[in-house]
Amino acid sequence: MAKNNKLGPRKPGKLSVYLYIPNIIGYTRVFMNCYAFAICFSNKWLFCALYFVSFVCDGVDGWCARKFNQVSTFGAVLDMVTDRISTACLLVILSQVYRPGMVFLSLLALDIASHWLQMYSTFLLGKVSHKDVKDSTNWLFKAYYGNRMFMAYCCVACEVLYITLFLLAKNDSEKLMDVLKASITEGSPISVLVGLSLFGWAIKQLVNVIQMKTAADICVLHDINRKVRP
């Protein structure tokens, strides 16, 4: 009797996962951001262009992962770490050119804490993606992660606002509220951009607070359930 030599699907090698198309895009984003921040004060416009292209690539690598069936945990972590570090670096720069700088440092802390807790709680629940919030009871949280266009608008608005504030800074001691008021009331295209960005930015910060609280609750419930096991 002939033996069945059919084998199941081959597991991808370690190197092949590292060389997934979306992961290569992720590496490109890292190098692009390193160069962008190296020239941020000497060439503001080039910095903003490179930073925004890197941000756009964040959506491209996700599309490639789904298109070529190259979704990976490493890719998801690389993507989130790159996003968080990029935004963190920009917020640190803004904290140096605006007063009070603590506003931007607080936003940095909220951004990192909420996303780290969300990622950790995702693994505790055994979910594949940190964007899987279908079981959440908060409508805004579900709307944010459930609607790609809505989430994209909020993320783009947040980054555009930070980039615009960086371009508007004339020296290293700008008063944040004065710059915001002037940019909104002057009636120029930049004022419309700032106004639209502020709305999306505010929603994203609210989602970050909800995300942090929801993820913290999951961690606490995990501890409670582990202790009550017989």
Q: How far does the chain reach from its first CA to its final CA, in angstroms?
A: 51
Residue 7 lies in a domain: no
- State the pLDDT at residue 189: 81
Residue 21 CA neighbour count, 13 Å, CB half: 12
Q: What pLDDT, in 10s, does the model give residues 16-57?
A: 999 999 999 999 999 999 999 999 999 999 999 999 999 999
Please tell me the pTM assigned to this model. Answer: 0.86
Q: Which domain holds residue 219?
A: 14-227
- State the pLDDT at residue 9: 63
Percent of the chain at pLDDT > 70 equals 95
Residue 9 lies in a domain: no
Q: What pLDDT, in 10s, does the model give residues 128-183?
A: 778 889 888 899 999 999 998 999 999 999 999 999 999 988 877 789 998 888 88
Residue 36 lies in a domain: yes
Phi, psi at residue 175, to the nearest 5°? -90, 120
Residue 28 lies in a domain: yes
Contact 121, 196 (CB under 8 A): no
- State the pLDDT at residue 95: 95
How many domains are contained in the chain? 1
Active site residue 61: no
- Reported as a pLDDT band with limits 50, 70 and 90, residue 195 is confident
Residue 126 maps to which CATH number? 1.20.120
Residue 3 lies in a domain: no
